[in-house]
Amino acid sequence: MILLENVSYAIESRELISGASLRIGQGEFAALAGENGAGKSTLLKLIMGLIKPTRGDILIQGASTRDRKVSALARTVGYLFQNPDRQLFGATIRQELSFGLDFLGVSKSDAESRVEETLGWLKLDPDRAPLSLSRGERQRVALASLFVRRPSLLLLDEPTTGLDYRECMQMMNTVARLNREDGVTVLMITHDMEIALDFAPRMLTLSGGRIIADGSTRELMRDEAMLKRASLIPAQMVALARRLGLAPGEADDADSLAEWVASSVKGGAQRAGHT
């Protein structure tokens, strides 16, 4: 689905991305993390074709981003900017969602039912102006306007900033459902290691323009030295499990840690009873 071969990107003489290679298959869900200024947004813009690599090549569904217009790519790729206000144009929420669906070749009745369905999920007054909403509400409208287009690839730049916990879970569950049921490929930038661990089986870490780690999120979450290089802090339960000497993956959420404590206590009591 996404293929990067030794991609570099420079502005003037500054290299913002250096020698990035990666392959993300159809239906994968990957998190992209790293310190402020690491180059995460730049990498996402390169994949979307908004900017072109200085060296190397990027293939999306087999076609190079050099040869394809962004507008062509936008038919199948949903891209969320780091600042949602960059993509809100409509006078009302309903308009915002309907915008461009005819251009995608969606029939009028299909468009209407998609918009209604998404409005039901959004739970906001469809006649309100997007720019009069609170930041979290604007973020959700921006995401909803991607969902109505039914993209096969979602490129999300910090989709949960500005959202409260409930909205964050609602939003992430929607993304997870699209990934699971419709096979939508997801590449999501996040600083939140709890979210990365809960939702993304795979994690890429970028630091100083280079990919310094690419692998299973559970395993990388244990690599505190690598995380530290990228200004990241491991998810709380993983850090606790490591401190308690558990093997990676043995228990890395609150429920399984509680189970582990309970069975250790029981085991300990039984052993004590035998002596």
Partner 1 sequence: MEPIILLEDVSFSYEGASGRALDGVRLSITPGEFVGVIGPAGAGKTTLAHALSGVTPHVRRGDFYGAARVAGLDTVSSSVAELSKTVGCVFQDIESQFVTTMVEDEILFALENFSVPRDEIPSRVDRALNDLDIADLRLRSISTLSGGQKQKVALAAALALAPSVLVLDEATGELDPASSVQVFELLTQLQRERGATIIVIEQKIMLLCAYAERLLVMDQGRVVIDGSVRRALEQPDRLLALGVNCPRVTTLAARLREKGLYHGAPPVSLDEAEAMVREALA
Restricting to residues 121-180, name those near Mg ion by CB under 5 A. 135
Alpha helices per DSSP H over 27-86? 40-48, 70-73
- Name residue, tokens 């280079």: 210
Q: Is residue 41 at the binding interface for Mg ion, with CB under 5 A as the rule?
A: yes
C-alpha of 198 from chain center: 12
Identify what 14 binds: ligand ATP, partner 1, Mg ion, none; CB under 5 to 8 Å per kind. Answer: ligand ATP
- Rounded to whole angstroms, the Cα distance separating 106 from 50 reads 24
Q: Which of 28, 96, 137, 252 binds ligand ATP (CB under 6 A)?
A: 137
Q: Is residue 40 at the binding interface for ligand ATP, with CB under 6 A as the rule?
A: yes
Identify what 236 binds: ligand ATP, partner 1, Mg ion, none; CB under 5 to 8 Å per kind. Answer: partner 1
Stretch that binds Mg ion, among 38-46, 100-108, 205-213, 240-248 (CB under 5 A): 38-46
Q: Is residue 222 at the binding interface for ligand ATP, with CB under 6 A as the rule?
A: no
H-helix or E-strand spanning residue 178: helix 165-182
Closest CB 239 distance from partner 1, rounded Å: 6
Q: Is residue 7 at the binding interface for ligand ATP, with CB under 6 A as the rule?
A: no
Tell me how far CA of residue 119 lies from CA of 78, 130, 144, 245, 258, in angstroms. 18, 13, 8, 47, 39
Stretch that binds partner 1, among 59-67, 70-78, 101-109, 253-261 (CB under 8 A): 253-261
Q: Is residue 222 at the binding interface for partner 1, with CB under 8 A as the rule?
A: no
Stretch that binds ligand ATP, among 8-16, 69-77, 93-101, 266-274 (CB under 6 A): 8-16
Restricting to residues 53-82, name those near ligand ATP by CB under 6 A. 82
Strand ranges for the chain from DSSP E: 2-11, 14-24, 29-33, 55-60, 63-64, 77-80, 153-157, 185-189, 202-207, 210-216
Restricting to residues 127-186, name those near partner 1 by CB under 8 A. 132-137, 140, 158, 161-168
Number of H helices, E strands in the chain: 11, 10
Tell me how far CA of residue 128 lies from CA of 50, 95, 144, 151, 162, in angstroms. 30, 10, 15, 25, 19
